[in-house]
């Protein structure tokens, strides 16, 4: 892990320390001299939430962690406090910092989460003026936190880092085949079983959606199967995660509307990366939950041999689809994977995809669009996990009337609806290929940011990994 996160039973001497306190009355006076306490009081009177004191051998920081109206809002405020602390640590050129929480330890874990995520940097392809993050180590110390809790968080944040790395990798260095190799390398330290179906195997399965999207490419498609099945799994029927793996998307012959809209289409495999990241975190933390990941992977390019608007293709399910827009390709490859998931008799299937601009326009980068046929308890638990991680879910309806948007005169259905309810008609298309409890997460607004946003940073965010990890960790013991 590029930022080491560990537990310290005792406070190391002469190490920069951030003391977390919920209010001025909780100030640990034994840590500060009378002059320092007077200075802190003045700063708090000026509404400062972060006070820095230079001890010359090290820095001492006071971080205010006053609770908010809701616990989930307090947790998010603490992550943002971690981001603010990171900015100060960078300015002070601090390499190691200890977070000292004299309360229940929850504050230190949340601050560490925001701090470590803020310290992520993607510099793999820089050759000059490389300035890697100076902060190397974060330690948590306090009576209310355990080594196990810190280790679990460290593994989860490492998975988010790796997810971001996959998404940030440029398209010329990430074909579908290379993506499968990168995921295998990423998971090499786990007990996850990995199988990669090649072009011939995909053809034998008659995955018409994946093959059609891949038609224009000189690179083969891949279908990646990940399986985490610990001996003590709490569930016999697996939870299946399906991730959209379009490693680069031009829109095909239905070219994207403006040239710069292709600039960041390397991120169209964010769903695939999130699936790999979630399984990595589950496996490293030995979560007793049987989970399978399915990743259909291809690019969507432009050539004379590519599929075209007006084509009718036969899907893995045997159903026919009239293609009216080749830029609605994600739902085609996901549909094949969703039908393939039926062979596992799953208890629940969740797909994750940067599927529609309509979802991003509806809720912005502040939320994830959710819809599905799973029961209300599952969706409520997902929403609670979303509130806990601040990867909040907004549920859209899947009323029967939306199927009318997809009726084709010449095939079983068409791959786009009308101008209205674009995110919903995409979800309705996916629903057609399911016969099990299912949830669709459209992360188009949250997966890749063009400007910084606190600890989520800029560019790949690793959206939905923390959400799915917390949901599945609870699901395992439900």
Give the residue numbers marked as catalytic.
256, 331
CA atoms of 169 and 266, how far apart (whole Å): 7
Question: What's the CA gap between 210 and 299, in Å, rounded?
Answer: 10
- 372, 374, 375, 381 alpha-carbon torsion, rounded to 10°: -90
- Using alpha carbons, list the distances in angstroms from residue 303 to 202, 253, 306, 329: 21, 8, 5, 15
DSSP string, 213-229: HHTT-SSPPEEEEEEE-
Distances (CA, A) of 203 to 126, 207, 223, 315, 330: 39, 6, 11, 11, 18
Q: Which residues contact 451 (CB under 8 A, 6 or more apart)?
A: 458
Residue with tokens 């075209």: 308
The helix (run of H) or strand (run of E) holding residue 414 is strand 413-414
**8 Å CB contact between 183 and 297:** no
Pairing of strands 368-372, 239-243: unpaired
DSSP class of residue 131 equals: -
How far is residue 473 CA from its own chain's centroid?
16
Give yes or no for a contact between 208 and 173, defined as CB atoms under 8 angstroms apart.
Answer: no
DSSP state of 123: -
Beta bridge partners, 369, equal 394, 442
Distance CA 197, CA 183 (A): 14
* Phi-psi sector, 56: left (phi>0), alpha (psi -120 to 50), beta: left
Indicate the burial class of 242 (C-beta count within 10 angstroms; 0-12, 13-18, 19 or more): buried
DSSP for 323-343, written as a single string: -S-TT--HHHHHHHHHHHGGG
d(CA 367, CA 240): 23
Contact 226, 192 (CB under 8 A): yes
The residue length of the chain stands at: 478
Residue 82, class by beta-carbon neighbours within 10 Å (0-12 exposed, 13-18 middle, 19+ buried)?
buried
How far apart are alpha carbons 470 and 322 in whole angstroms? 39
């Amino acid at each position: 892990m590029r930022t080491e996160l560990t537990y310290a039973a005792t406070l190391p001497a002469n190490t920069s320390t951030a003391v977390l306190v919920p209010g001025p009355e909780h100030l640990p006076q034994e840590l500060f001299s009378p002059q320092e306490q007077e200075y802190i009081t003045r700063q708090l009177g000026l509404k400062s939430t972060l006070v820095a004191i230079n001890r010359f051998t090290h820095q001492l920081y006071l971080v205010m962690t006053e609770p908010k109206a809701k616990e989930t809002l307090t947790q998010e405020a603490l992550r943002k406090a971690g981001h603010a602390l990171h900015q100060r640590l960078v300015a002070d050129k601090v390499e190691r910092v200890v977070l000292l929480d004299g309360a229940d330890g929850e504050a230190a874990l949340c601050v560490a989460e925001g701090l470590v995520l803020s310290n992520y940097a993607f510099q793999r392809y820089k050759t000059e003026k490389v300035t890697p993050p100076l902060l190397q180590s974060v330690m948590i110390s306090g009576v209310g936190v355990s080594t196990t809790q810190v280790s679990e968080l460290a593994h989860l944040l490492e998975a988010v880092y790796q997810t971001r790395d996959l998404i940030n990798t440029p398209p010329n260095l990430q074909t579908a085949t290379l993506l499968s190799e990168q995921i295998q390398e990423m998971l090499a330290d786990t007990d996850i079983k990995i199988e990669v179906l090649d072009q011939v195997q995909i053809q034998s399965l008659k995955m018409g959606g994946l093959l059609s999207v891949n038609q224009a490419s000189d690179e083969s498609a891949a279908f990646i199967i990940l399986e985490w099945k610990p001996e003590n799994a709490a569930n016999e029927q697996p939870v299946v995660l399906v991730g959209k793996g379009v490693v680069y998307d031009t829109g095909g012959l239905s070219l994207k509307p403006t040239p710069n809209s292709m600039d960041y289409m390397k991120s169209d495999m964010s769903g695939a990366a999130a699936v790999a990241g979630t399984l990595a975190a589950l496996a490293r933390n030995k979560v007793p939950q049987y989970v399978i990941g399915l990743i259909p992977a291809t690019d969507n390019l432009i050539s004379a041999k590519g599929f075209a608007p007006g084509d009718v293709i036969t899907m893995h399910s045997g159903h026919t689809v009239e293609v009216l827009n080749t830029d609605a390709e994600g739902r085609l490859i996901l549909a094949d994977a969703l039908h393939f998931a039926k062979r596992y008799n799953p208890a629940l299937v969740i797909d994750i995809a940067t599927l529609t601009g309509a979802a991003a326009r509806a809720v912005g980068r502040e939320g994830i669009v959710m819809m599905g046929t799973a029961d209300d308890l599952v969706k409520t638990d997902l929403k609670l996990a979303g509130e806990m991680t601040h990867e909040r879910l907004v549920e859209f309806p899947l009323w029967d009337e939306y199927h009318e948007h997809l009726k084709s005169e010449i095939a079983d259905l068409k791959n786009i609806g009308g101008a209205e309810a674009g995110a919903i008609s995409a979800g309705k298309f996916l629903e057609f290929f399911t016969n099990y409890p299912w949830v669709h997460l459209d992360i188009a607004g949250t997966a890749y940011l063009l400007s910084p946003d606190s600890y989520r940073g800029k560019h790949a965010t690793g959206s939905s990994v923390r959400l799915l990890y917390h949901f599945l960790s609870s699901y395992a013991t439900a």
